[in-house]
Amino acid sequence: MIDRYAFWLSVVIGIGGWAYICGRRIPAAFHAGYRKELRRFRWLCTAATGAVIVSVISDALLTALRLPGAELSAESLLPIFSIAIEVACAAALVFPNSQHRAGSDVHSGPVENLNSARRRKRNKEWDR
């Protein structure tokens, strides 16, 4: 039951977050009010992701509890592959740009370093 409720909770929170951000106008320039709206949206997305993770973990635990009693056969491979796909999709949800972030530390020269410094300064101002 926990996995079912966690899944539906994530769906409801996700739809709520989607409706919230779609109901807002995109400003011509970012301002403090829009920053607050984006933070609320990010928290809704984080809550929905957390509920999905709870659902995947509980599915994996329930499957793990059922498998020791079964023989390794074609019938037992389906739940194993199903859980593997669920875990992979949840990992992609939690770590969406891991390859991009890993390669972002590589600089192509002084211009890239200057742009990175400007970006860091802008992000510090944005977080205030």
- The answer to whether the pTM exceeds 0.75 is no
The sign one gets for the Cα dihedral 28, 34, 39, 40 is negative
What percent of the chain has a predicted confidence (pLDDT) above 70?
74
The sign one gets for the Cα dihedral 109, 115, 116, 117 is positive
Four-point Cα dihedral 88, 90, 91, 92, nearest 10: 90
Q: Which residue did the predictor score with more confidence, 51 or 26?
A: 51
| Site of tokens 């635990």 | 61
| Site of tokens 């926990």 | 2
**CA 12/CA 51 separation, integer angstroms:** 10
- Helices then strands, counting H and E runs in the chain, come out as 5, 0
Give per-residue pLDDT as tens, 62-92.
888 887 777 777 777 888 888 899 889 888 8
Q: Answer yes or no: are the C-beta atoms of 41 and 17 closer than 8 Å.
A: yes
**CA 55/CA 47 separation, integer angstroms:** 12
Q: Which residue did the predictor score with more confidence, 106 or 27?
A: 27
**CA 47/CA 53 separation, integer angstroms:** 10
Give per-residue pLDDT as tens, 12-23.
999 999 999 888
